[in-house]
Structure 1
Amino acid sequence: MQLNLAPEHQHRLAPLANKPAGQLLIHEIYRSIQGESTYAGLPCVFVRLTTCNVRCVWCDTPHAFKEGALLSFEDVLQKVLEYNCPLVELTGGEPLLQEEAFELMSQLADRGKKVLLETSGTVPVDQVDRRVCIIMDLKCPDSGECDSNLFANLDHLKPTDEIKFVIASRRDFEWTVETIRKHQLDRRFEVLLSVVHDKVKPVQLVDWLLDSQLQVRMQLQMHKYIWDPKQRGV
Structure 2
Amino acid sequence: MSRSSIAVRLVESFTSLQGESTHAGRICFFIRLAGCNLDCNYCDTRYGRSFGAGEPASVDELVRRAQESGTKLVEITGGEPLATPETPELCRRLLNAGFEVLLETNGSLPIAEIPREVRKILDCKLPGSGMAERNDFSNYALLAPHDEVKFVISCRTDFDAMLEVIRRYDLPSKTANLLASPVWGRVAFTDLAEWVVSSRAPVRMQFQMHKLIWGDRPGV
Query: Unaligned regions of 5+ residues in structure 1, if any?
Result: 1-20
Partner in structure 1 of residue 15 of structure 2: 31
Instruction: Report the TM-score when normalising by structure 2.
Output: 0.94
Partner in structure 1 of residue 6 of structure 2: 22
Distance of 2:131 and 2:68 partners within structure 1: 37
Q: How does 1:61-140 map onto structure 2 within 5 Å?
A: 61-66=45-50, 67-140=53-126
User: What secondary structure is seen at the aligned counterpart in 1 of 2:195?
Assistant: helix
Partner in structure 2 of residue 175 of structure 1: 161
User: 1:97: Cα distance to partner?
Assistant: 1.0
User: 1:215: Cα distance to partner?
Assistant: 2.5
Deviation per residue, 1:131-180 (Å, 9 max, x gap): 10000000000100000000000111111100000000010001001111
Q: Is the 8 A contact 2:107 2:136 kept in 1?
A: yes
1:49 aligns with 2:36: no
Distance of 1:131 and 1:179 partners within structure 2: 25
Q: Is the 8 A contact 2:143 2:174 kept in 1?
A: no
Q: Is the 8 A contact 2:13 2:29 kept in 1?
A: yes
Distance of 1:155 and 1:184 partners within structure 2: 10
User: 1:84: Cα distance to partner?
Assistant: 2.5
Distance of 2:213 and 2:22 partners within structure 1: 18
Distance of 2:58 and 2:100 partners within structure 1: 22
| Greater mean deviation of Cα atoms: 132-141 or 73-82 | 73-82
Deviation per residue, 1:51-71 (Å, 9 max, x gap): 000000000100101221111
**Structure 2: which amino acid aligns with 1:191?**
L
Q: How does 1:146-225 map onto structure 2 within 5 Å?
A: 146-189=132-175, 190-225=177-212
**Structure 2: which amino acid aligns with 1:109?**
L
User: 1:22: Cα distance to partner?
Assistant: 1.6
User: 1:106: Cα distance to partner?
Assistant: 0.8
User: What secondary structure is seen at the aligned counterpart in 2 of 1:174?
Assistant: helix
Q: Is the 8 A contact 2:21 2:179 kept in 1?
A: yes
Distance of 2:208 and 2:137 partners within structure 1: 25
Distance of 1:96 and 1:194 partners within structure 2: 22
User: What secondary structure is seen at the aligned counterpart in 2 of 1:117?
Assistant: strand
Deviation per residue, 1:103-153 (Å, 9 max, x gap): 111111111110000000001000101110000000000100000000000
User: What secondary structure is seen at the aligned counterpart in 1 of 2:109?
Assistant: coil
Count of matched residue pairs: 213
Query: Unaligned regions of 5+ residues in structure 2, if any?
Result: none
> Segments of 4+ in structure 1 off by > 2 A?
none
Instruction: Report the TM-score when normalising by structure 1.
Output: 0.89
User: 1:187: Cα distance to partner?
Assistant: 2.9
| Greater mean deviation of Cα atoms: 214-223 or 69-78 | 69-78
Distance of 2:93 and 2:60 partners within structure 1: 10
Provide the identity percentage.
41
